[in-house]
Structure 1
Amino acid sequence: MSKDLLRLLIVSATLALTPTPTLGAGPSPAPENPPADGPTATSAMRRGGGPAWCPGSSRRKGVVAVNDPLAAEVGANILAQGGNAIDAAVAMAFAMNVVEPLSSGIGGGGFMVVHLAQSGETLALDFREKAPAASAADMLAGRAFSEVSTSGVSVGVPGAVLGLATALEAWGTFTLAETLDPAIHLAETGVPVSAFVAENAASPRTALEPETSAIFRRPDGAPLEAGDLLVQPDLARTFELIAEQGPSVFYEGEIAEAIVDAQRRARYDGGEGRMTLDDLALYDVVLRTPVIDDYRGFTVASMPSPSSGGLTVIQILKLLERFPIGDERRGFGFGEAKTLHVMIEGMRLAFADRAVWMGDDDVVPVPAAGLLADPYVAARSAMISETTRMATPAAGDPLPFDGPTPTPPPAPGDDEEGSTTHFSVVDAWGNVVSCTVTIEQLWGTGITVPGYGFLLNNELTDFNRQPAPAPGTNNVAPFKRPRSSIAPTLLFKRGEPFAALGSPGGATIINSVLQVTMNLLDHGMTLQQAVDAPRISITSPSGEVTVEPGVEQAALDGLAALGHRLTEGEIGAVNAVLVDLRNGKRYGAGDPRRGGAVGEACWRRRGRRCVAVHD
């Protein structure tokens, strides 16, 4: 038995002893041609759909939505070859390491929410980075963020390789080598630098380390520009090693040794990384129960702790459900001042709770049931007035609605920043994946593992840098996973999945996912309209409200008159897929904010397959 399979079985056995879902039977192996019968049309969205990108007539098909057209092509090709949604998601994750290395990669981690058509299960896979065994609550304290975030002390034990391999072995039909092959080809032959990569190529992090600048700068040291050819032979070799030897080479072999050496680099004395070979060898992936609740007759399933994303999205939805959002006659149409105002107030309340109550539930209990309990939500929602802005809200007390707890409320912690990448997939058989992967800040620490070509994360900066009073829900601790805002989300109607979505953007992820969900369910938009529509965001009880261009001036004036402080900026990059439950057609929407693309695989008459990519 291989070490990799043994590791998976150990994780599965551990999960079997806890109240989490089983892996289930998983999807059936992909047939040579998809079945002719369409999905059962049990219900219909108010409005949905959009253009089908694949030309000609088609039957059931698979669709991917991701931040880059090359990655979309990779995912669509996997589907066209008979792969399922999990196969496509894993292949796209590796491809995104090549085409958008500043946002994600094997030096980081992520979260995945999966719906399995055969068993009907909806599961959450946690491959978030972990703090090393030698971590301490104060190890990030007392230094500037710019120093901490570019030093090895901020590097968490990476989870991406084992997480993706675990998903593939549990639910996929392709081998790990088969899903790595497209990324190897892209890394070897080179990819054109995208506009998004070019916009961020001048970051000081691309010039901090010689190995990083050798890859992500021009030979003369100038930043990469859009259209430059980015060739990554070291990364291709690393992928080949993983394809040949499995995750063990990353967690126990030569790559592990190189990671430990690289994370010893620091910008200050004491900033060296604390990760050891034992930390890598002991890393585990966790299968979790999604956080699930209802909103206006739909079911929302998203990522639970250690991410705060799903819980906060659902809490805001519940806070707002009493308002007639979408009713233009009552002043609650899309983008109207009243609509935006109550959304802002809901965000402020939920982010106050998030700062106090959310962290790694495996270490400090998170009162999730209390935070979503109807009496608690009703009391918090009653604080929202349609006509006045509330004073800075404090966190509520959900404990009476959650049952006994051994700890008092902690003090609020730091709010994280960062960027990630997200992709969504639905296949021909109804399996659905929503997955977000990350290395935290753009370019992570800026430390590239010498000879292996991938950046290391700075995920531990998502912990409180200054320790909060006991119990320190999000304080650094050994083996703990830092709080996240990542929110891969699935939407259901009468048990049938009809949408998958998620976003990059640090804490703004929550508000991006929230608004696309509301655009679909409250405002009746098509999927692309829901993604394209301008957004607002506030991620603290007392901060400024970021507003995207496109919000009407009358609404801005109305918000300012209520006392909201406004600033302009771009928010998130949602990539989503949708199943029209009336006819089984699949659609995708890529977010133009970051070059989002849709890839579609379809089967035409006489078994012919086609792939189309739209950006």
Structure 2
Amino acid sequence: MKIQDLLNKQKLHDPHPQRACSQQGMAVSATKEASAIGAKVLKSGGNAMDALAAMQFGLAVSEPFNTGLGSSGFILYYDAKTKETKVIQGHSQAPRHIQKDCFIDENENVIPFFERSTPGTAVAIPGILKAFHKGLELFGTLSWGEVIEPAVQLSKKGVEVNEMWQTGLTRFGNRLGEEAKSFFFPDGVPLTKGEIVVNHDLTAALELLQQKGVDVFYRGEIAEAIVEATKKLNGCLTAEDLEHYEAQVKTPLQASYKDVDIIVPRPPNGGGFALLYMLKLVEQLDISRYDVRSWEKYYLIAETLRIMTADKLAFMGDPAFYDIPVDGLLHPEYLQKRLKLYNFKHRNDKVAPGNPWVYDEAKKPSGLNAQPFEIGSETTHFIAADREGNIAACTSSLEHFFGSGIMVPGYGFLLNNDMTDFDPSLGGINSVEPNKFPVSMKTPTLVMKDGLPLLAIGSPGGPTIVASVLQTLIHVLDYQMDLKDAIEEPRIYNGTGPLIWWEEGIPDEAQATLEKMNYQFDEIALSMGNVQAILFDQEQKIMYGASDSSRPGVPAGAE
């Protein structure tokens, strides 16, 4: 790949608000408020980790239905001095007293998703605050209180309700518990677009975190309120669960794609493995020889997603509980066998998990079943890069829109429903077990070229996350598109079945061809994910930021 050709494609002087470039630093997120906070921290001398932490708190105020104090996430951090990348795992964990059959009814049937996603049993131990505390401790230059301050000021001022808020309340307002309803539906009327809303309880929680530190959330008065709120709704989260939670620092998973290196989190993060696995398949298929909107390109994406999903559901889990054959799944000989499933004639109805164990002999099969469930969810992704070359990226989430719908009384934040990331049935590799991490598809990603950062990227979207990241990467690396154009290029998603979700812009001819091949397209187009990205011109020291139009976020340079 010719990097200069790619950089020459960047629309440097395009005035679009979701494009930006800077030599001083860049912050990108799904809200203009959080991006502005990140850019201000960078401009005042904070580094990428400082800015990212400040953005997380800013998003807790400006996008409280997708992330917040009660969320989970994975942080990817590149240190420009050491040229090392670390993953800080703030993933939610199952409580120690959770019952394995908590999502099974008296007739031994799986409880329907809505019913199992909103009680106290849906809430996992939230890890995002411990992750950012660890990140600041290891890599930051500002104090915990300093990175919270911009969010405190934003919370006091209030934020404008945008279309994302309004859409969420219309579609998912029925998920909210009484405390949350009193905020999002004051006097029984939903907040409306253009209204300025102030969450006084959240302001108080942020100020308390400033004054007393992260421990107030995990062993102080906020912890007590979390436990009480979940127990009232039949949850089993305890003070000990919160007190003993620790964010873990991990080495990332890395693999090459053509002449670049892709860096992602390891399991129990399933998104990282999935991205590398699909890129390895696409690399052999030479996808760029087909037009970007050709039926062949969409066919290759669809079948690659199906093949990956079959293996992901069969083999991904918490490596602390069961061996995960990551090396076998990414082994060249195993991938060559999987390539035989493509035919360019029809949807292969025999896509099933393969046998990667023969290429990963040091590990042993669990003998457990594949996870049969794929549930959509909402999340957020944000990135900060400083003038010294450090890069911090995070995908954080309440899991579903509004999470569990449980707002902690007096503190104004929602709790996650990350327990729904588990297989609700019994006996699966990703089934519920105490102290276990569920498989997550969050995919914060760093692309390296000749040992230096080329691209930082990520997206929300539950199971669709990795599809959004994969396709945007292909649009940049293979089709060498302008970054914003690469993000906006219409995407598709499918699991192991025939149904394809699609975005506006997929050609009718391509759809018709795939339908003849026994695929099915959803009745209407819908936006998938919300890609945020920064492209790095290492020679000119220019950062190009771009945000997805599916949300109102913008990139903000630290000028």
Pairwise TM-score range, normalised by the shorter structure: over 0.9
How many Å separate the matches in 2 of 1:514 and 1:43? 19
How many Å separate the matches in 1 of 2:24 and 2:443? 26
SS in 2 for 1:112: strand
CA shift, 1:203, in A, is 4.5
Where does residue 395 of structure 1 map in the other structure? 353
Q: 1:402 to 1:149 in 2, by over 3 A?
A: same
Where does residue 192 of structure 1 map in the other structure? 160
Q: 1:515 to 1:43 in 2, by over 3 A?
A: closer
CA shift, 1:236, in A, is 0.8
Residue by residue over 1:110-157, the C-alpha shift from the partner in whole angstroms, topping out at 9 and shown as x without a partner, is: 001111101100111100011111012211223222121110001001
How many Å separate the matches in 1 of 2:423 and 2:292? 36
Where does residue 314 of structure 2 map in the other structure? 356
Give the superposed CA RMSD: 1.8
Where does residue 605 of structure 1 map in the other structure? none
8 Å CA contact 1:205–1:445 kept in 2: the answer is no
CA shift, 1:208, in A, is 4.0
Where does residue 44 of structure 2 map in the other structure? 81
How many Å separate the matches in 2 of 1:388 and 1:301? 33
Of 145, 151, 154, the residue aligned with 2:119 is: 151
Of 58, 76, 80, the residue aligned with 1:117 is: 80
How many Å separate the matches in 2 of 1:68 and 1:324? 36
Of 25, 42, 49, the residue aligned with 2:10 is: 49
Residue by residue over 1:147-192, the C-alpha shift from the partner in whole angstroms, topping out at 9 and shown as x without a partner, is: 2111000100111111111111110111111110111111112110
Where does residue 64 of structure 1 map in the other structure? 27
CA shift, 1:451, in A, is 0.4
Q: Number of matched residues?
A: 545
How many Å separate the matches in 2 of 1:176 and 1:313? 33
Task: Check if 1:509 corresponds to 2:465.
Answer: yes
Give the TM-score of the pair, scaled to structure 1: 0.86
Of 203, 210, 218, the residue aligned with 1:243 is: 210
Of 413, 417, 428, the residue aligned with 2:387 is: 428
Q: 1:273 to 1:91 in 2, by over 3 A?
A: same
How many Å separate the matches in 2 of 1:361 and 1:208? 34
CA shift, 1:569, in A, is 2.2
Residue by residue over 1:375-400, the C-alpha shift from the partner in whole angstroms, topping out at 9 and shown as x without a partner, is: 11111012112333211411111101
Q: 1:179 to 1:322 in 2, by over 3 A?
A: same
How many Å separate the matches in 1 of 2:187 and 2:311? 49
CA shift, 1:230, in A, is 1.3
Structure 1 residues 196-205 or 585-594, which shifts more? 196-205
CA shift, 1:45, in A, is 5.7
Residue by residue over 1:575-601, the C-alpha shift from the partner in whole angstroms, topping out at 9 and shown as x without a partner, is: 111112342210100100112211111
Gaps spanning 5+ residues in structure 2: where? 106-110
How many Å separate the matches in 1 of 2:77 and 2:374? 28
Matches within 5 A, 1:94-133: 94-133=57-96
SS in 1 for 2:154: helix
Task: Check if 1:476 corresponds to 2:435.
Answer: no
CA shift, 1:423, in A, is 0.6
How many Å separate the matches in 2 of 1:278 and 1:452? 20
Matches within 5 A, 1:591-610: 591-602=548-559
How many Å separate the matches in 1 of 2:439 and 2:114? 20
How many Å separate the matches in 2 of 1:115 and 1:406? 33
CA shift, 1:201, in A, is 1.4
Matches within 5 A, 1:178-257: 178-203=146-171, 205=173, 208-217=176-185, 219-257=186-224
CA shift, 1:560, in A, is 1.3
Which has more helix, going by share of residues? Answer: 2
Q: 1:591 to 1:64 in 2, by over 3 A?
A: same
Percent identity over the alignment is 34
Amino acid of the structure 2 residue aligned with 1:552:
P
8 Å CA contact 1:52–1:587 kept in 2: the answer is no
How many Å separate the matches in 1 of 2:22 and 2:52? 22
Amino acid of the structure 2 residue aligned with 1:459:
D
Of 144, 164, 170, the residue aligned with 2:132 is: 164
8 Å CA contact 1:111–1:435 kept in 2: the answer is yes
CA shift, 1:410, in A, is 2.5
Give the TM-score of the pair, scaled to structure 2: 0.94
SS in 2 for 1:202: helix
Residue by residue over 1:256-304, the C-alpha shift from the partner in whole angstroms, topping out at 9 and shown as x without a partner, is: 10000001133xxxxx111110110000111112111111111111121
8 Å CA contact 2:455–2:535 kept in 1: the answer is yes
Amino acid of the structure 2 residue aligned with 1:406:
K
8 Å CA contact 2:172–2:401 kept in 1: the answer is no
Structure 1 residues 557-566 or 99-108, which shifts more? 557-566
Of 476, 493, 496, the residue aligned with 1:541 is: 496
